Amino acid sequence: GENVEQHPSTLSVQEGDSAVIKCTYSDSASNYFPWYKQELGKRPQLIIDIRSNVGEKKDQRIAVTLNKTAKHFSLHITETQPEDSAVYFCAAQDWGKLQFGAGTQVVVTP
Amino acid sequence: NAGVTQTPKFQVLKTGQSMTLQCAQDMNHNSMYWYRQDPGMGLRLIYYSASEGTTDKGEVPNGYNVSRLNKREFSLRLESAAPSQTSVYFCASSEARAGNTIYFGEGSWLTVV
């Protein structure tokens, strides 16, 4: 089955700097890659997703890139703000189950 | 439109007790899921239901059973709770199995003592 590895497990950034989270997956058949944000005590919520026919997708300060050859995808957050502090999960899916990474705790310090 | 609603929000059980977590969605989604979340381990799939009338095991099904009661409702049952089942449980739903946004409920905090 699919195996998703996510790095780093924790990330501390200064407000205004960029944050990058990287994930690798094992199943070359995976074709859907969402990212979820989870604030403390809350439910995970989708922030951006990308499909295998696209190399990059952007939504305001958030962007995701996908390298299918290398089987890795990344989340980029620019101009970080305190409200970006949360746990971020990547995930990968073929036509079967959605497999999540272990999560990255992002802390944005003023 | 409430989305995905799950109950109870908090529960403390004694080892060996049984309980059922209830979940309902009002988005007319076909697929529903139960995940558990433990520190440092992300979200692990317990069971899922691709469509009404079907259920399948996920990554960590042992100790759990599920029922897809109808298109809206998907319940998770712990027959004999164990301390290892202390976790946060999330119900979720999506329009279909593949390539669709999964929407999560607010979570159920379960402690087994």
Alpha-carbon distance B15 to A105, whole Å?
32
- Provide, rounded to the nearest whole percent, the portion of chain A with pLDDT above 90: 82
Give the tokens for residue A34: 């969402």
State yes or no: pLDDT of A43 exceeds 90: yes
Q: Say how many C-beta atoms besides its own lie within 10 A of residue B98's C-beta.
A: 16
B97 to A32: CB separation less than 8 angstroms, yes or no: no
Alpha-carbon distance B78 to A8, whole Å?
34
For residue B48, the chain A residues in CB contact (below 8 A) are: 97
Residues present in chain B in total: 113
Range B67-93 average pLDDT: 96
State yes or no: pLDDT of A35 exceeds 90: yes
Select from A80, A41, A74, A69 the least CA-distant residue to A56. Answer: A74
Alpha-carbon distance B99 to B64, whole Å?
26
Q: What is the pLDDT of residue A53?
A: 83
Q: Please name the residue of chain B whose CA is at the shortest distance from the CA of residue A87.
A: B42
Residue range A53-80, pLDDT digits in tens: 889 999 999 999 999 999 999 999 999 9
Q: How confident is the model at residue A95 (pLDDT cuts 50, 70, 90)?
A: low
Whether the CB of B2 is below 8 Å from some CB of chain A: the reply is no
Q: Say how many C-beta atoms besides its own lie within 10 A of residue B74's C-beta.
A: 30
Question: Does residue A44 have a cis peptide bond before it, meaning omega lies within 30 degrees of 0?
Answer: no
Residues in B 8-37 with any Cβ partner in A closer than 8 A: none
